[in-house]
Structure 1
Amino acid sequence: MTGPLATTPCTLPLVEVCVTEFDLACLPATGAVFDRLVALRPAQVVVDLSGCRHIDAAAIGLLLDVHRRLARADGVLTVRNPNPRIRRILHTARLDQILPIVDTAPSSPPGTPTAEQEPIAAPPALVAHGRASVRAAT
């Protein structure tokens, strides 16, 4: 018997989202994408901001909401490659104290060996790796 606080296990190891516009004007479309992503119950969502030039308070609020929803299901939200201006905004909003903000190249699909790792003897039974782009309609 499960109670109302029981969580469903994560169904995907990683979902990546490349966000190019992230402000109040595009929040409904971006929010809808995040709603669909959270419904997939991923273990980790990486929001790549490398192509994003601006972020506002509404977008920060959405990131916090997605972080809370993922955390309830034992998922993690990570922000990747914000430009220096957006990094300062995230720091000022103290988002860097709540969720990981990293500067890295796009990740390889799960199970891909790195230079430090030996090749994997057998491929994983199920690997899911996705990417979505969100652009505001003009």
Structure 2
Amino acid sequence: MTGPLASTPCTLPLVEVCLTEFDLACLPATGTVFDRLLALHPAQVVVDLSGCRHIDAAAIGLLLDVHRRLARADGVLTVRDPNPRIRRILHTARVDQILPVVDTAPSSPPGTLPAGHEPTPIPPTLLAHGRASVKVAH
């Protein structure tokens, strides 16, 4: 007899990933990073695109897959600081209607979200906080 799937509790409150390349060429390496990251059961993942110059359909597909996997575990994926061109691409693909796409205010310290875009409430016990950068040589 099988019952409903038990959700795994989040073990990390927040993980930030800074991407400088995010297209089909680097998707295998980036996908591996996200797979490992999701195995940690984070409550919130912030993908910082401030240093990224290009995004393609494959990368958008990966973002939506990560969003879906996080949502199943009651986690949240947020895209932060895309440049205006990437923001238009995300808007055209309607990604901004599915997950939060935010800009940090110039006075905000790194790792914080702007007012009005508060992260999901986090349990009071902080187990770990991490950052990961993905750089792929072409």
TM-score range (shorter-chain normalised) is 0.7 to 0.9
Question: Could you tell me which residue of structure 2 aligns to residue 11 of structure 1?
Answer: 11
Tell me how far apart the structure 1 counterparts of residues 63 and 33 of structure 2 sit (CA, whole Å). 12
CA apart distance, 1:5 = 2.0
Question: Could you tell me which residue of structure 2 aligns to residue 81 of structure 1?
Answer: 81
CA deviation vs aligned residue, 1:95-114 (integer Å, no higher than 9, x gap): 00000000014225xxxxxx
Task: Summarize the alignment of residues 22-101 of structure 1 with structure 2, pairs less than 5 Å apart.
Answer: 22-101=22-101
Tell me how far apart the structure 2 counterparts of residues 69 and 19 of structure 1 sit (CA, whole Å). 19
CA apart distance, 1:3 = 3.3
CA apart distance, 1:126 = 2.8
Q: Are the equivalent residues in 1 in contact too, given 2:16–2:45 (CA < 8 A)?
A: yes
Q: Are the equivalent residues in 1 in contact too, given 2:47–2:77 (CA < 8 A)?
A: yes
> What do you get for the CA RMSD once the two structures are aligned?
1.6
Q: Which amino acid aligns with 2:15?
A: V
CA deviation vs aligned residue, 1:8-43 (integer Å, no higher than 9, x gap): 110100000000000000000000000011110000
Q: Would the alpha carbon gap of residues 132 and 88 (structure 1) be closer, same or farther in structure 2, given more than 3 Å must change?
A: same
Instruction: Report the TM-score when normalising by structure 1.
Output: 0.84
Instruction: Report the TM-score when normalising by structure 2.
Output: 0.84
Q: Are the equivalent residues in 1 in contact too, given 2:49–2:82 (CA < 8 A)?
A: yes
**SS in structure 2 at match of 1:12:** coil
Q: Is 1:107 the counterpart of 2:107 in the alignment?
A: no
Q: Which amino acid aligns with 1:99?
A: L
Tell me how far apart the structure 2 counterparts of residues 81 and 2 of structure 1 sit (CA, whole Å). 43
Unaligned runs of 5+ in 1: 109-123
**SS in structure 2 at match of 1:59:** helix
* Rg larger in structure: 1
Unaligned runs of 5+ in 2: 113-123
Q: Which amino acid aligns with 1:103?
A: D
CA apart distance, 1:125 = 4.2
Q: Which amino acid aligns with 1:97?
A: Q
Tell me how far apart the structure 2 counterparts of residues 3 and 78 of structure 1 sit (CA, whole Å). 31
The count of residues paired between Structure 1 and Structure 2 equals 123
**SS in structure 1 at match of 2:74:** coil
Tell me how far apart the structure 1 counterparts of residues 101 and 136 of structure 2 sit (CA, whole Å). 23
5-14 or 55-64: bigger deviation? 5-14
